[in-house]
Chains A and B, each alone.
Chain A
């Protein structure tokens, strides 16, 4: 494992090193021979190289880089190349990368664009391993010392669920270290004094929050201070917290709490109950009043109730609940990145700059031409970025939900403020399980999306998506992910289509 991070550093260095010293023997009369793995990369190279380069993509038009297996002719192309470009280990089929590594002439620049482009300002997002953990981490906290109210370090704070409104039951529980669940609140059989927990001052804890049906829930919590045995509890305060379970949280309350870390917090000093939120990336926390906040429990948080009698309080084994989990570590794969960077046009911009510098290193006499071409193309990409941004911005925010065949649109969603609501499988080479299909159906139904999106190169693999769309009576639209087809032949056209298509299908 240690080797991996190291290899990345070395890999990046190697690209620069080789690009810097390797004036290749090509680049003369018949042009610089460039080989790329995918046709999207080939298009970017063509826009930089113009007439001076001959570009070949190993994955043929309409092919899927996740599954394309190289043929002997590919080895020949690689052996003749003056420069090669790949995207990233996690995008292209292993054997494709191997075909390049094994056949490339020594000293030929071989740039892996995804990571090397970070130095050119590409914004990289980590690879999601478990989408069910890519949700809000919701805990309970006691804040302040409560001296004015007579609290001491040995006081207890009692937190009671006094009301739950919603289409189903709310169950908050802790799974202890060695697997034993302890229920805090469970509205399944009504609420009583037992739907309560006791916390010490300065407590901070994380529990599971399960909901048996989708819809909007309101949970009322009442806190009181217990100063000692035989002393009557001092009421602190009561607040009602709102959850949007499987449904769109937009419009339910002013502030949507959808990711990062939030605690339902009892303030011992003011007696208030509110949400306390960690601001991602900073050391700061902010308070959002219970009435102003809605906690999102998205459809990716759907889990199947296990066949284990200890968890029967959640309902029948094999049934589903929406659940915010008590631990969210492991949502991302350590050290790995989502390879689909170009779905953010600003990342494609970074690719282009890296491509320009790499080709210039291989063919210094064409430097001026490459600079000029790149400048013109970067201007076009800036226009494209603005077009995509403006087009998506015209879709009402609550409708900006993407449901796709594979997890290839994380960058698009992050860059243009959409939500990845679901996909059939993370990687198109995987087969969906029964649970995947059920989760997808529930997502489409709960969110009432008007359309789902298929990638044309994955048409043969889209039977599950088509079936779900048919069952739920929603449209199937087309988004280009990893390759072109006979209608869309360039990166600019592809991104323009994607923006226009999400607008057409979701508005």
Chain B
């Protein structure tokens, strides 16, 4: 620990050091969710490009603010029924950069991550706490929406993010207030380590005080932050348990395959 702190002191202003743990509300500009190795530990963070140099922040230090300027209505088109009733209000952070609102994406481009990860990162949504509906989707060819997460679908939901990629989507909220997205990013490394981290992302919707969102506590993480590498399966008669789990899993996979 000593070395990085020392290095930081040598090369940066004291103000910048304080800033590293500062709580910030981000209202416009580009940010990305993504995994990083922080002191060697796989951690979901937020890359903040809204200042001068990019800065990675802990999710607990950030609120993304969606102002009322982002408010629009659900179109009269069956393809968008998953956003709510036609004509009802929704607050949207678009896939494409729009002046005046924050532009959140997600990336797996951190050099250390890109080097370590085998193929892809699994991004899981364990749940959403908030006053309204939440959806994350992509607008593709000819406007067909491709849903990634919706709060109306049972949790957990998951999607894959290929290593070394950077993606943007449409973030939609159905009512003003504070939302906590319970998200997890996990992966398997090229040297067969299973890594995972689970964090809460805070978003505040509407023209009320976004800092209030910091006071909403995250749900207790349901699993440890990092699993030990190389779990000793061959120990302790776990074989039987593995078999049972496998049978269940195999049945589930077959059922999926038969659809």
Nearest CB to that of A12 among chain B residues? B192
Nearest chain A CB to B125 CB, angstrom units: 11
Chain B contributes a number of interface residues (CB within 8 A of A) equal to 65
Which of B124, B165, B166, B234 is in CB contact (< 8 Å) with A2?
B124
Determine whether A251 belongs to the interface, using a CB cutoff of 8 Å to chain B: no
Contact B249 A7 (CB under 8 A): yes
Contact A327 B164 (CB under 8 A): no
Contact A280 B164 (CB under 8 A): yes
Contact A332 B139 (CB under 8 A): no
What chain A residues lie within 8 Å of B77 (beta carbons)? 178-179
Residue interface bits A168-179, CB-to-B below 8 A is 1, else 0: 000000111111
A3 to B77, CA, bound (A): 34
Chain A contributes a number of interface residues (CB within 8 A of B) equal to 62
Contact A327 B119 (CB under 8 A): no
Contact A303 B141 (CB under 8 A): yes
Determine whether A94 belongs to the interface, using a CB cutoff of 8 Å to chain B: yes
Residue interface bits A191-226, CB-to-B below 8 A is 1, else 0: 000000000101111111000000000000000000
Known: A3-B252, A6-B249, A278-B164. A205 touches B96 (CB 8 A): yes
Contact B156 A334 (CB under 8 A): no
What chain A residues lie within 8 Å of B92 (beta carbons)? 177-178
Extra 11 A-B pairs, beta carbons < 8 Å, given A175-B141, A335-B160: A5-B186, A7-B252, A21-B239, A132-B141, A175-B139, A177-B170, A178-B72, A179-B139, A202-B49, A205-B96, A327-B146
What chain A residues lie within 8 Å of B27 (beta carbons)? none
Which of B95, B162, B166, B234 is in CB contact (< 8 Å) with A17?
B234
What chain B residues lie within 8 Å of A306 (beta carbons)? 142
Contact B242 A17 (CB under 8 A): yes
Known: A179-B77, A327-B138, A329-B146. A94 touches B254 (CB 8 A): yes
A20 to B242, CA, bound (A): 15
Residue interface bits B133-163, CB-to-A below 8 A is 1, else 0: 0000011111101101000000011111011
- Which of these binds chain A: B58-66, B108-116, B173-181, B199-207? B108-116
List 22 interface pairs A-B (beta carbons < 8 Å), by A numbering.
A1-B158, A2-B124, A7-B249, A7-B250, A20-B234, A89-B253, A126-B119, A178-B72, A178-B92, A179-B75, A179-B143, A200-B99, A202-B30, A202-B49, A207-B96, A278-B166, A282-B111, A326-B140, A329-B169, A330-B146, A334-B159, A335-B160
The dominant DSSP class at the A interface is mixed
Contact A179 B80 (CB under 8 A): yes
Determine whether B258 belongs to the interface, using a CB cutoff of 8 Å to chain A: yes
What chain B residues lie within 8 Å of A325 (beta carbons)? 140-141
Determine whether B68 belongs to the interface, using a CB cutoff of 8 Å to chain A: no
Contact A13 B75 (CB under 8 A): no
Contact B158 A177 (CB under 8 A): no
Determine whether A248 belongs to the interface, using a CB cutoff of 8 Å to chain B: no
Nearest chain B CB to A186 CB, angstrom units: 16
Contact B164 A2 (CB under 8 A): no
Known: A7-B249, A101-B250, A283-B109. A204 touches B30 (CB 8 A): yes
Contact A9 B146 (CB under 8 A): no
